[in-house]
Chain A
Amino acid sequence: AQTVTQSQPEMSVQEAETVTLSCTYDTSESDYYLFWYKQPPSRQMILVIRQEAYKQQNATENRFSVNFQKAAKSFSLKISDSQLGDAAMYFCALSNDYKLSFGAGTTVTVRA
């Protein structure tokens, strides 16, 4: 069985500041992928960033970056220069074999 835990139900950030979302996971597999998905009020699931477990280099996509600590089974997301459009629920997810497991989500609000 695999599990994903997001311990922060809500986070608030000032516009232009940085916020970090936490995610820990548990899996017995050595080969897997980790993801962060964004869900705005429209409910659409949008892939933010992806990390292959065998790659040591942390993934980066524009203002979004991850801190992947494989030994600690930790996968945090950093949003830099936060914008009003970043306000959404963010889900951490883990995939291996044929299953994709999600955390409970973190709601991010951005203060103008």
Chain B
Amino acid sequence: EAQVTQNPRYLITVTGKKLTVTCSQNMNHEYMSWYRQDPGLGLRQIYYSMNVEVTDKGDVPEGYKVSRKEKRNFPLILESPSPNQTSLYFCASSFQPGLLYEQYFGPGTRLTVT
């Protein structure tokens, strides 16, 4: 089954404790992206990757890191989480960069930072 998976689905952590949210897709997609969803703000793009070893900032990259060492994986790293990073996070992938005619979304990760 074609899908984007994220782990963990739920995470409660404390300020400053490094964490990684994994994202994996099995569709051989070139393009992958991370979004955060906050009430009243919709989804905002954090980082995206056009292919292996090619990443770039989205609209809200501060406090986040990403890497793309393999085509299928695109982990999101929070080196020192803060309470303002409490949010719902989505990973998504698309067959190709350029015009994103369709993105496949993961199930979301609910992160709480206390």
Contacts and interface: CB of A to CB of B under 8 A. Distances in A.
Interface stretch (A14-22, A42-50, A57-65, A78-86): A42-50
B102 A47 contact: yes
Interface size class on chain A is: 20 to 34
Contacts, number: 60
Interface string B78-92: 000000000010101
B108 interface: yes
B40 A100 contact: no
B48 A98 contact: yes
A50 B98 contact: no
Contacts of B43: 91, 93, 102
A44 B107 contact: yes
B44 A102 contact: yes
B30 to A, nearest CB: 11
Given A47-B102, A98-B100, 16 more contacts: A9-B40, A31-B99, A32-B99, A33-B99, A44-B107, A50-B101, A50-B102, A91-B43, A95-B99, A96-B99, A97-B98, A98-B98, A99-B45, A99-B59, A100-B33, A101-B59
28 contacts: A31-B99, A33-B99, A33-B100, A33-B101, A43-B107, A44-B107, A44-B108, A45-B90, A45-B92, A45-B105, A47-B102, A50-B101, A52-B101, A95-B100, A95-B101, A98-B31, A99-B45, A99-B48, A99-B58, A100-B92, A102-B35, A102-B42, A102-B43, A102-B44, A103-B42, A104-B41, A104-B42, A105-B42
